[in-house]
Amino acid sequence: MKPPPKPALPLDACVAPGCAASGERGEVGNDVPSPCIGICIISAASGLCEGCQRNLDEIASWSSYGTAQKRALLAELPSRKGAQ
């Protein structure tokens, strides 16, 4: 008799060690979509991506941010676009 199959992980499940620690109250933070719109040009003047208004550090760190960090950054982006 075969053992029952293991439940599949959700597509956004983090299985890396310590992954949940980056989230808010154990959340991984994968529930907040990236603001990337595919226009990936870094402005020499501002250091921000012309598409999403994030800097290179924010772009590189997005996947490790928790839900609260992602939401806070998303709230800040519209003011960056208006300032350019």
pLDDT digits 0-9 by tens, 6-18: 554 444 444 444 4
Predicted TM-score (pTM) of this structure: 0.64
CA 68 to chain CA mean position, Å: 10
Phi, psi of 26 (to 5 degrees): 85, -5
Judged on CB neighbours under 10 Å (0-12, 13-18, 19+), 24 is middle
Q: Judge whether 24 lies within some domain.
A: no
How confident is the model over 33-79, as pLDDT tens digits? 999 999 999 999 999 999 999 999 999 999 999 999 999 999 999 99
13 part of a folded domain: no
First to last CA, the chain: 66
Residue at 2 is within a domain: no
DSSP secondary structure code for residue 63 in this structure = G
Confirm whether 49 is domain-assigned.
yes
Q: Is residue 65 part of a domain?
A: yes
Domain-located, residue 23: no
The verdict on residue 22 lying in a domain is: no
Q: Please check whether residue 25 lies inside any domain of the structure.
A: no
Give residue 72's domain range.
39-84
Q: By C-alpha distance, which of 10, 14, 16 is closest to 27?
A: 14
Number of domains in the chain: 1
